[in-house]
A = this chain, B = another copy of it.
């Protein structure tokens, strides 16, 4: 059965059923199989492969590439896949199993869109098949990488090779024992006069000499094993020039093409997490054992207002994301710049607020390992930082909106002139003050 033959809302229903009945119940086993200490980075929870097999059988494997832009795609638009992605956000393991998970989905998109045939054969095929994993290496600790022109890892051409020196961090997925390839952004042409043409992207096999995983980073105490977030050191690492993607100086082009649809997925999974948190909250406040001072929690007006606001905020945020997805579908990521930025900023704020209310409704249980809430919150918190902090997006949106100034000044000037003329016609000698 081909996924592309499926009707979108039936797939969304099927995914929801798979997530709720198979993935969520597997989250505890996944955690148990991960274990403690160093083992978390050396083994791979077997439940993942079992669920992957189930997903393949259900025709839900690799359905994330949009039909609009990729021929390998399952045939869904960004909007349709957005609705599917939301379901995945409800389960820790569902993001793994699947189906799709940034940065890996984004990585596959990069290879599908920009890789040559050899690169696709070597890396994309096993990635799509789930045999290997990849990591995208962009951010660097010593510089402010939200401005990508600051990237400082050097790529020096020597004969048929590039020699890489520098470091990367927040290389998500690099902790996974199955991770085989790093997609690395470096500075290959540091003196090019256009600062956006100094960067290139190259494929670095894991285990290459001179490439060391230095340590794993934590997110509010969570190590996010097995994929994890690594700091990786490059010391004279030599990579065949044939591993270059698209061509020298085209790094920006590649990362920009990657951001649009990936952000839709991120946002929709984020809302899935918020929906799941709301489900937990409602369950909690209707638990008769949680009475205080003679009242069940659902009898408190403040709690009911939390539920109402959560419902309302999730619904509003979802519309924003779907509008952005639709804009990408009918235009492209560049044409949907404003809508994507709006979704990128609003969604994590909503999810964090909803999850935090859920935490509060659970009291101490909410911050502990006994609910999925604390883990979810920590993960969502990174979305206000990853791919550029809120503040950078707000400044860009604000400056773009502010470009209307000249036209608006002209319009208000016209209105003022007409108003004064009209007053004069009626014998009133007034002047509009502003």
Residues of A within 8 A of B (CB): 20-21, 24-29, 32-33, 36-38, 139, 141-144, 146-147, 150, 169-170, 217-223, 229, 279-280, 282-287, 289-293, 297-298, 300-309, 311-312, 315-317, 319-320, 323, 338-339, 342, 345-346, 359-360, 362-371, 374-375, 377-378, 381-382, 384-386, 389-399, 401-402, 404-406, 408-409, 411-412, 414-416, 418-420, 422-423, 426, 428, 430, 432-434
Contacts and interface: CB of A to CB of B under 8 A. Distances in A.
A375 B221 contact: yes
Contact of A308 (B28, B317, B339, B395): B395
19 contacts: A24-B419, A27-B419, A28-B432, A29-B423, A33-B426, A150-B291, A150-B292, A282-B404, A302-B305, A304-B394, A305-B391, A305-B394, A308-B395, A308-B397, A308-B398, A360-B385, A367-B382, A370-B434, A371-B434
Contacts of A218: 221, 368-369, 374
A360 B293 CA distance: 28
Contact of A141 (B142, B365, B384, B385): B365
Contact of A377 (B25, B220, B284): B220
Contacts of A396: 308
Given A24-B415, A301-B301, 7 more contacts: A26-B422, A218-B368, A282-B401, A300-B391, A301-B303, A303-B391, A315-B320
B360 A311 contact: no
A17 B53 CA distance: 59
B319 A323 contact: yes
Contacts of A223: 221
B25 A279 contact: no
Nearest to A218: B369
Contacts of A20: 411, 415
A291 B144 contact: yes
Contact of A304 (B368, B398, B416, B434): B398
Given A37-B37, A401-B307, A405-B283, A312 B345 contact: yes
Contacts of A401: 282, 307-308, 311
Nearest to A406: B286
B28 A419 contact: yes
A283 to B, nearest CB: 5
A377 to B, nearest CB: 7
Contact of A402 (B307, B346, B393): B307
B289 A142 contact: yes
Nearest to A23: B415
User: Which 7 pairs across A and B sit closest by C-beta, in order of nearness?
Assistant: A221-B221, A304-B398, A25-B418, A308-B398, A301-B301, A221-B222, A286-B405
B317 A428 contact: no
A320 B311 contact: no
B395 A32 contact: no
Contact of A374 (B220, B282, B397, B414): B220
A397 B342 contact: no
A293 B147 CA distance: 6
Contacts of A309: 394
Contacts of A360: 384-385, 389-391
Contacts of A389: 360, 363
